Amino acid sequence: MPKIHILSDDNIITANEGKILLDVLRENGYFIEAPCNGMGTCKKCKVKIMDGASEETVLSCEYKIISDISVEFFDEGKAENLLTSDIDTFDASDSVLTMKTHVFEDSRDTDTSWEDEYEKVFGQISFNVLKNTNFSKGEKHAIYLNDEVIAIRDKDDDKIYAAAVDIGTTSVAISVLDITHGKVIERASFVNPQISFGLDVLSRMSAAIDLKENLYKMQEQLTKAIEENILKIFKKYKLDIDSLYEIIFSANSVMMHILMGVDPTSLGIAPYKIVSYFNFEIDAKEIGMKIGKYTKAFTIPSISSYVGADILSGVNHIDIENIDKNIMFIDIGTNTELVLKYKDKYYASSCAAGPALEGMNIEFGSRAELGAIENVFFDLDSGTKNIVVIGKEKAKSICGSGVLAVIREALKIGLIDYRGRLVKLEDLAEDDKRRPFLKDIDGKSVIDLGEVYITKKDIRNIQLSKSAIMSGIVLLFNKLGMTAEEVDDLYIAGQFGYHLSKDMLVDTYFIPNIAEEKISYLKNTSLDGAISVVLSKKKRENLLSLSKKIKFLELSYDENYQKVFIDCSYFK
């Protein structure tokens, strides 16, 4: 059985001869970015292989293990500035988590049990609470989740903590909350480890379909990472992990299925039906989390199969029902979700924008990481290019915002026409001021950004994303009988959307021509919404009723969908 020496942590693992290296690395808990889920198309799962005197760079998804090897990972320098929450302090007076204190005397009544005496004061006690309670005289604290006793603690264990978690396809964000003192203790964020099974939700559904075991691997990857990050914070501040009484989860529909260990296959097969809306309050251990004795897990429900808890959490957080305006709420990403409120009507839809916005299917595409181009500015008169790179390093890739910036600038100076056609360098006169912005690669014209460039195919892939999003907006407008001019406020939420400037969206026609003063950025409303439903009983109770008010529009069922999709592909 061949041995594999992992140089990064000096660890040796074994594998059966003939196994694919990517699979072996995943099975042993190593994170390898493979957005195409091992299909060999994204070329991002490169590792360096050494066997004796020779070494070579290979795609781990194509490399078969036949002998002992050493493996070196490439340092991708992932950016750590993932979007979390701005909430630092809060009013917890209406929290779903409360405490009642009572001093018990030394009772000599042998006709009653300690359970009887405690229940007279605190109410019904479950078996989980009973077996973890130190029944004795003295000061005791009953911890309630709504009206249910979930723990009875001793005198010194008088703190209440909770955690809110936003699970995105690409990243995960956590806020640990001190309910007792009304403050956020600390935040954490990290790349979703499931990314090793693919960058988008379709790749992860495909992984679960291919092998049921992959579902549980993805669930374990996720819950373990969340657990480790929470425990790290509790250890840092020397907090009692048994005083973590609830974790609130917000996520898109596919991520929620995987978190709960429920097969998401039905979401990918007609009629694309969700297994459950997941409006659950369960013990955290039921999803494999080895954390506090009393920790509960609450899952915010989804609106539909492809408009998830993350969107409901966001619109509930901004109190959309009580805003007396026409509101458009949009979370731009691989699966773009939007909610439109017009007068007293609510509609939602999702648009399969595809992974191009996350850098996949782009020649030099990447996520927003160190060395990725995130913005560009072209000056036609001087022929100069101002290229903004994350980390101010040498450009080695380009992320979604960078690609949109290139298209914005290319449209501005006439490198691209309204149909998305890129001019050819050979067709330009020698004195044409556009020439410095182009170069030929293998006989084809590309937009020149130094060692990085944008191809005609890249532009087409972005057009498909644009068309998917814009057509969804147009069809929702049509359904409600409204126009872009009638939108009073446009809220752009989420990790990707927050890093897009207004001109990136408006000047590339990704969104309708809505006045800039109407456009607001809301950062991570999914996480903020998760925080709000532990702090407010009213917000918690409102989730289900709000989800039922919002009607889902399946775009593909609209008879005008194909025509609208094509019309929306144009940069005009």
Which among 341, 356, 418, 349 is positioned nearest to 561, based on CA atoms? Answer: 349
Q: What is the CA radius of gyration of the chain?
A: 26
Q: What is the pLDDT of residues 433-458, one digit of tens each?
A: 999 999 999 999 999 999 999 999 99
Q: What is the pLDDT of residues 283-294, one digit of tens each?
A: 999 999 999 999
Q: pTM (2 decimals)?
A: 0.84
Strand partners, 184: 177
CA gap 273, 269 in Å, rounded? 8
pLDDT (tens digit, 0 to 9) for every residue of the chain, 572 residues total?
999 999 887 889 999 999 999 888 877 767 677 767 677 777 778 899 988 778 899 999 999 999 999 999 875 444 345 567 788 999 999 999 999 999 998 877 778 899 999 999 999 999 999 999 999 999 999 999 999 999 999 999 999 999 999 998 878 999 999 999 999 999 998 878 887 787 778 888 988 888 889 999 999 999 999 999 999 999 999 999 999 999 999 999 999 999 999 999 898 888 889 999 999 999 999 999 999 999 999 999 999 998 999 999 999 999 999 999 999 999 988 788 999 999 999 999 998 887 788 787 899 998 788 899 999 999 999 999 999 999 888 999 999 999 999 999 999 999 999 999 999 999 999 999 999 999 999 999 999 999 999 999 999 999 999 999 999 999 999 999 999 999 999 999 987 888 889 999 999 999 999 998 999 998 889 999 999 999 999 999 999 999 999 999 988 888 899 999 999 999 99
Cβ contacts of 383-388, under 8 Å, gap ≥ 24: 383/433, 383/435, 383/436, 383/437, 384/436, 385/436, 385/437, 385/448, 385/449, 387/449, 387/450
CB-neighbour burial class of residue 539 (10 A; exposed 0-12, middle 13-18, buried 19+) = buried
